[in-house]
């Protein structure tokens, strides 16, 4: 029980750090594919010394099986696709609405976990999931009816949710036989490669950005990815992709609060109600899962 509680505490901090993602995306004055590219490139570069100068990490990477290479590169492809869709959605809809829809990934994770990993959850845990999802809908409800432009962004964010759920399910499978550093490096590195190709195809510029934008690139790599998403990769050895995806619903809470203080976006009574509902649902789920 102590170990499980420790994992949940670490998960809480990882969700908080991940909540900064949308903030950095908004602050970075660059195409979505470029922001995603530098996010993954800088993250991979940060991990490189830990891969090269750690004997076990280096050994695992040099002895990767064909299956591990395939799943690692697949995770990179899924991650790059997720980021392009999600970051692009932020150009059409609000930070709150986009983040809420992206965090609907538990819907996909529960289905995948049921069929792929034979995961079963008590009814109380599933009820907690339902409560948290209702909280997400409450937060983003206003944007769902604003315009066709906002609706397009919402659809892109929803598809991104399904893709990131698939990413964590791939991670759950491969983390049983591979440490977090070689797995994350392979995933982030291949993802950066795919994003570089996409950026070249769309004629996006890799240079010429302001200092504040480069700071945003570094922030989203070091804070949102290394301290946030990579911690999820680490926890996948002990927690299921469904639990991870469910906990990421808390990202909507953190993003709404951070966007209020940093981006000066409105935090309405409706969003505050949604935040409370999400927190209640997460408490019910984690207590009974």
Confidence at residue 267, expressed as pLDDT on a 0 to 100 scale: 76
Distance between CA atoms of residues 108 and 86, nearest Å: 16
Distance between CA atoms of residues 92 and 179, nearest Å: 38
Q: Could you report how far apart the first and last alpha carbons of the chain are, in Å? A: 12
Confidence at residue 205, expressed as pLDDT on a 0 to 100 scale: 96
Confidence at residue 1, expressed as pLDDT on a 0 to 100 scale: 45
Confidence at residue 24, expressed as pLDDT on a 0 to 100 scale: 93
Query: By the 8 A CB rule, do 183 and 72 touch?
Result: yes
Q: How far does CA 186 lie from the centroid of its chain?
A: 17
* Crossing angle between the packed helical segments 123-140 and 106-116, to the nearest 10 degrees: 150
Confidence at residue 263, expressed as pLDDT on a 0 to 100 scale: 84
Structure tokens at 73: 């590169």
Query: By the 8 A CB rule, do 277 and 216 touch?
Result: no
- Closest C-alpha to 167, from 243, 256, 71, 99: 71
Within 10 angstroms of residue 223's Cβ, the number of other Cβ atoms is 18
Structure confidence by residue, pLDDT tens digits, 15-71: 999 999 889 988 999 998 999 999 999 999 999 999 999 999 999 999 999 999 999
Confidence at residue 287, expressed as pLDDT on a 0 to 100 scale: 87
DSSP 3-state percent helix, strand, coil across the chain (nearest 5)? 80, 0, 20
Structure tokens at 173: 């499978």
Residues of the chain with pLDDT under 70: 1-2, 95-97, 99-100, 103, 140-148
């Amino acid at each position: 029980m102590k170990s499980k509680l420790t994992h949940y505490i670490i998960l809480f901090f990882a969700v908080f750090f991940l909540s900064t993602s949308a903030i950095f995306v908004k602050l970075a004055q660059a195409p979505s594919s470029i922001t995603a590219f530098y996010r993954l490139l800088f993250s991979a570069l940060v991990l490189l010394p830990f891969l090269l100068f750690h004997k076990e990490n280096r050994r695992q990477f040099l002895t990767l099986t064909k299956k591990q290479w395939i799943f690692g590169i697949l995770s990179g492809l899924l991650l790059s696709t997720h980021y392009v869709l999600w970051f692009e959605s932020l150009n059409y809809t609000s930070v709150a609405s986009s983040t809420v829809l992206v965090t609907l990934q538990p819907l996909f994770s529960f289905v995948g976990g049921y069929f792929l990993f034979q995961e079963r959850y008590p009814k109380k845990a599933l009820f907690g999931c339902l409560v948290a999802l209702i909280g997400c809908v409450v937060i983003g409800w206003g944007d769902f009816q604003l315009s066709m432009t906002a609706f397009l962004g919402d659809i892109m964010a929803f598809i991104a949710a399904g893709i990131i759920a698939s990413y964590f399910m791939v991670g759950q499978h491969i983390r049983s036989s591979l440490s977090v550093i070689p797995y994350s490096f392979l995933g982030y590195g291949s993802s950066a490669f795919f994003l570089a190709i996409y950026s070249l195809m769309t004629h996006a510029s890799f240079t010429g950005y302001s200092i504040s934008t480069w700071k945003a690139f570094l922030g989203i790599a070091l804070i949102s990815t290394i301290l946030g998403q990579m911690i999820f990769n680490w926890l996948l050895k002990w927690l299921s992709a469904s639990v991870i995806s469910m906990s990421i619903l808390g990202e909507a809470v953190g993003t709404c609060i951070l966007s209020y203080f940093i981006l000066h976006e409105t935090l309405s009574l409706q969003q505050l109600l949604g935040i409370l509902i999400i927190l209640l649902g997460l408490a019910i789920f984690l207590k009974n899962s």
